Amino acid sequence: MQIQTLYQEAIRFAAAKHLVQDQKIPGTDLPYVVHLSNVAMEILLAGEHSEKFDLGFAVQVALLHDTLEDTDTTPEELVKWFGYEVAEAVAALSKNPKLPKAEQMVDSLARIRKLRPEVWAVKMADRITNLQPPPPHWNQAKITNYSEEAFLIHAALRQGNDYLAYRLEGKVLEYAKMYDIPMRKEDRTLLLQVGGEGGSIQLVKIEDYFLYSTDETTLSEFVPELKPEELTSKSDVFTSFDKAMVSLLNRYPVFELYPVAVHPDFREKVIPYYQTFVLQPHHDRNWSNHEWEEMLFGKG
């Protein structure tokens, strides 16, 4: 189907749904559909600047992105009219109201990151569009919080679309300057690094979430036809250290690899996992035990 047709069908559906609630853009008298078309406009321009971008899919997700969160639309309706993938994307872009408020954004970002980069792009486009002069009733704390959230969105999703990541970064800086918000550097901490032959695995904390990545780019020295993107991979994002650690251990034999670094503040958290590993029934002591014990307990 043509993009124009997909656009018209999605905007008609969404506009009608938001109209039932008489929803306006907060702090204005403008109907909500103005916000939706602004997000779609960002996506149309991003599509022009991005390779392998499924514009038809992304435009529908952009126009429908608030239907589950703000209207009486059900996931079944979205599946029926727009298909499963669009419904799944809109669900990921919706906050889970059952979670504590402070966890809702990180949870939504984690679900977005499991989907295609077009969905990451819609979330960035949404925040780009929303970084407007705040409604008059917002106080400084709320404005600062909104800016910090935008910063987190950028940190979590920027790899999804270069063009929108660049736009979002510019908007965040502009907003922070306009409303006197101290800009901070991205809070990224290396918690754990292990290295095997020709590669390494890192567990990092970025803002409020955890993820691990593998990098086997040194292999490309030996196999030049491999592209760097085939040698690096990133995990899902996790909302706690323990969730990330369990997933990492299920995937890689971490304690059989050479320990390169353990962040001192996280040593106490890694130790129980190590102890569980050495207590496994068929575990043979070997060089890696010695290295890990030195790293974790400072034993020579």
Q: Is 215 in the site for Ni ion (CB under 5 A)?
A: no
Query: In this structure, what are the phi and psi dihedrals at residue 132, rounded to the nearest 5 degrees?
Result: -115, 170
Which residue's CB atom is positioned nearest to Ni ion?
126
Q: At what angle do helices 162-178 and 117-130 cross, to 10 degrees?
A: 20
List the one residue from 10, 38, 66, 215 that touches Ni ion (CB under 5 A). 66
Q: Residue 95 carries which side chain, given as an amino acid letter?
A: K
Residue 126 near Ni ion by CB under 5 A: yes
Cα dihedral 142/18/107/105 (nearest 10): -10
Nearer to Ni ion, 126 or 215 (CB): 126
Is 229 catalytic? The answer is: no
- How many CB atoms neighbour CB 281 within 10 A? 4
Q: Supply the minimum distance, in Å, between the C-beta of residue 126 and Ni ion.
A: 4
| Rg for the chain, CA atoms, rounded | 22
Q: Which of 9, 51, 66, 69 is catalytic?
A: 69
> Has 88 been annotated as catalytic?
no
Question: Which region among 48-56, 118-126, 233-241, 252-260 touches Ni ion (by CB under 5 A)?
Answer: 118-126
Q: In this chain, which stretch among 10-18, 126-134, 194-202, 240-248 interacts with Ni ion, using CB under 5 A?
A: 126-134
| In the complex, minimum distance from the CB of residue 165 to Ni ion, in angstroms, rounded to a whole number | 18
Q: Closest distance between Ni ion and the C-beta of residue 35, in Å?
A: 6
By CB under 5 A, residue 207 contacts Ni ion: no
Identify which of residues 66 and 207 has a Cβ nearer to Ni ion in the complex.
66
Q: Tell me 285's DSSP state.
A: P
Select which of 22, 51, 54, 70 is catalytic: 70
CB 79 to Ni ion: min, Å: 21
Give the pair of three-digit tokens for residue 263: 């962040």
Do residues 62 and 39 lie in contact, with contact meaning Cβ atoms separated by under 8 Å? Answer: yes
User: Which helix (H) or strand (E) element contains residue 123?
Assistant: helix 117-130
Q: Which residues lie closer than 8 Å to 107 by C-beta, 6 or more apart? A: 95, 96, 99, 239
Stretch that binds Ni ion, among 48-56, 63-71, 201-209, 292-300 (CB under 5 A): 63-71
Question: Least distance (Å) from Ni ion to the CB of residue 25?
Answer: 9
**Nearest approach, Cβ of residue 66 and Ni ion (Å):** 5
∠ CA 46-232-157, nearest 5°, is: 35
Provide the 3-class DSSP secondary structure of residue 180.
coil
* Beta-carbon contacts of residue 53 (< 8 Å; ≥ 6 apart): 46, 47, 117, 118, 121, 161
Tokens of 23: 């929803």
Stretch that binds Ni ion, among 3-11, 93-101, 123-131, 206-214 (CB under 5 A): 123-131
Residue 88 vs 126, nearer CB to Ni ion: 126
Contact footprint for Ni ion (CB under 5 A): 66, 126
Instruction: List, by residue number, the catalytic residues.
Output: 69-70
